[in-house]
Amino acid sequence: MNLNNQERAPIYEALMELKAKRIVPFDVPGHKRGKGNKDLKDFLGEQCLEVDVNSMKLLDNLCHPVGVIKEAEELAASAFGAKEAFFMVNGTTSAVQAMILSVLRKGDKIILPRNVHRSVINALVLCGAVPVYINPQVSQRLGITLGMSVSDVKNAILKNPDAKAVLVNNPTYYGVCSNIKEIVKLAHEKDIKVLVDEAHGTHFYFGDNMPVSAMSAGADMSAFSMHKSGGSLTQSSFLLCGEGANPSYVRQIINLMQTTSGSYLLLSSLDISRRNLALNGKNIFSKVVELSEYAREEINKIGDYYAFSSELINGDSVFDFDITKLSINTFDLGLAGIEVYDILRDEYDIQIEFGDIGNILAYVSVGDKNYKNIERLIGALTEIRRLYKKDKIGMLKQEYINPTVELSPQEAFYADKKSVLLEQSVGEICTEFVMCYPPGIPILAPGEKITKDVVDYILYAKEKGCFLTGLEDLEIQRINILKGGF
């Protein structure tokens, strides 16, 4: 990594200069450095509202950067080893969408694992591309989807030589990495672009002994959430371009959907966090690893919990594992992950990232400085086992349900539809999304056939208390299906 100038933070510096100059605001935002909204100023703090400002000469313009934003993007690109880096202010969702829309057009094929984030399939709804799903390998023991096996990617490319892109999760929410270097090699041989959802992999660019990052694997583009493990404000992300991307076109695509009033709170948070990680990332993530490893070891001593890690590595569908992720299987406890997640919050005042049918994920990050809260988590898990452990009979284990894609997501989403009770939808074509949030991986996506397994799974997840989203019916009783069948 080129550390030259990484101690600089041009957007932050420009905002400090703006404050010092005491420029008189006759532009938006109308709260004018907080003066027009006392309650908000008291709540968020004057320092915060003073820099909630709009584009101007001193501060550059996110849609067409020529000044400090351009400099900041160059510094970020250098820190991540990318050809170009874009500051994104509408979440990693917008980065994923821009990445896909810049490579795919209507009818184009994209090879991807089914356990993608909803933003990926949303992008397919927008552009009309057709998914070619690779069924991810599944761990029966854990009930989670793993990575893509290289031979599956190879076969998919053989069968679909006209595919325009391959999408890789690096890593999955649980921390599983595919063999991204090999996938890049296979794809590039056929002129297929490799797009990487690195929402949970910011630290791969900075820590020691981390899985390979998208840029160093030679991928064409990567979307990642600086706000997840990197410490910037919620909704701020990066889109990185590798050698194979066309950054000027990517900028045009970004500007199709991005706000023209990019928040300087978000932009400066990206700038400052990039600086922090470039300068201190190694130490920060070695501490994160130390805390996660300690927690894993202690949790595995409690009994009935399985905090899994690099022992899953099998050279293929689990090519590598992100050991900063504290993923814990709760199956032997007789409790669904979501139940443990709820008990931790309601009874112990501990909020973790998510719970699914059989697992929970506690996010350990740049914000964890010592063992105090880790001890609380371990202590609470010990208590939950003592007080809530149940017989595991009747627990649903299988999480991954093989989808049958009958229509492209776009065709299905925009088709004429009708609403039926979930229980009566078996055999029909779904025209909307169903997912638990988090993790936000669709159980059903538009264009897929609804099977009895899927309906059973949705009803089970609902009964266990999963937060189901995506359906037009907020009560999660009815589902939209293709009118007239298929």
Which residue bears the tokens 């797009």?
Answer: 195
Closest to 435 measured CA to CA, from 482, 396, 479? 479
- Considering the rule CB under 8 A, would residue 393 count as an interface residue with another protein? no
Contact 115, 145 (CB under 8 A): yes
- One of 248, 372, 474, 485 touching another protein (CB under 8 A): 372
Who's near 445: CB < 8 A, 6+ residues apart?
121, 131, 403, 409, 430, 433
With binding defined as CB under 8 A, does residue 380 bind another protein? Answer: yes
Q: Which of 37, 61, 216, 382 binds another protein (CB under 8 A)?
A: 382
> 244: helix, coil or strand?
coil
Tokens of 346: 């309601």
Judged by CB under 8 A, does residue 482 bind another protein? Answer: no
Nearer to another protein, 17 or 347 (CB): 347
Question: Is 287 a residue that touches another protein (CB under 8 A)?
Answer: no
Is residue 346 within the footprint of another protein (CB under 8 A)?
Answer: no
Judged by beta carbon, residue 21 or residue 386, the one nearer another protein is 386
Please choose, from the candidates 186, 209, 226, the residue with its C-alpha nearest in 3D space to the C-alpha of residue 80. 226
Task: Give yes or no for a contact between 193 and 244, defined as CB atoms under 8 angstroms apart.
Answer: yes
Nearer to another protein, 57 or 372 (CB): 372
Binding mask 82-101 for another protein (x = CB under 8 A): --------------------
375 binding another protein? (CB under 8 A):
yes
CA distance 329 to 307: 6
Residue 168: its H or E element? strand 165-169
Q: Is residue 347 involved in binding another protein (CB under 8 A)?
A: yes
Which of residues 162, 349, 391, 416 is near another protein by CB under 8 A?
349
Q: By CB under 8 A, is residue 348 in contact with another protein? A: yes
Residue 378 or 444: which CB sits closer to another protein?
A: 378
344 to each of 165, 186, 288, 384, how far by Cα in Å? 41, 44, 21, 8
Burial class (CB in 10 A: 0-12, 13-18, 19+), 293: middle
Amino acid identity for residue 68 in this structure? V
What minimum distance in Å lies between the beta carbon of 325 and another protein? Answer: 22
Helix pair angle (91-101, 247-257), 10° resolution: 130
Contacting range for another protein; rule: CB under 8 A; set: 248-256, 320-328, 378-386, 463-471? 378-386
Are 241 and 215 in contact by the 8 Å Cβ rule? The answer is no
Binding flag, residue 388, another protein (CB under 8 A) = no
Q: How many amino acids of this chain bind another protein (CB under 8 A)?
A: 15
- 185 is a site residue for another protein (CB under 8 A): no
With binding defined as CB under 8 A, does residue 67 bind another protein? no
- Indicate left, alpha or beta for 91 from its phi (over 0: left) and psi (-120 to 50: alpha): left
154 binds another protein (CB under 8 A): no
Q: Does 371 bind another protein (CB under 8 A)?
A: yes
**Binding residues for another protein (CB under 8 A):** 298, 347-349, 371-372, 375-376, 378-380, 382-383, 386-387
